[in-house]
Amino acid sequence: MNELDSMCGITDEEMTRRFVEAVRIENEIKKIKGVPIAGFDMERQLPYIEYADGRREYEK
């Protein structure tokens, strides 16, 4: 293993948890600022844009 492969002792699960939390925080900041957030609806299998008022516009 070389230096670039090392994650300083952080497991894959911890790295994934940190990534998910970072995305959640960023989305909260965008909601506060009123910036639309892109997402994906797993039930409908469609991408959408969610606005700060909670309204979603699905792509076709």
% of the chain at pLDDT higher than 90 = 65
**Residue 30 clears pLDDT 90, i.e. is over it:** yes
Residue 3 has pLDDT above 60, yes or no: no
Is residue 6 pLDDT above 80, yes or no? no
**Which ranges of the chain would DSSP assign to H, the alpha helix?**
12-33
At residue 48, does pLDDT exceed 90?
A: yes
* 3 state SS of 12: helix
| Section 46-57 average pLDDT | 93
DSSP 53: T
Report the distance separating Cα 3 and Cα 11, nearest Å: 16
What's the Rg (C-alpha) of the chain? 16
Query: Kind of pairing, strands 56-58 and 46-50?
Result: antiparallel
Q: Over the chain, what is the mean pLDDT? A: 88
Q: Encoding tokens for residue 22?
A: 């970072």
pLDDT number for residue 18: 94
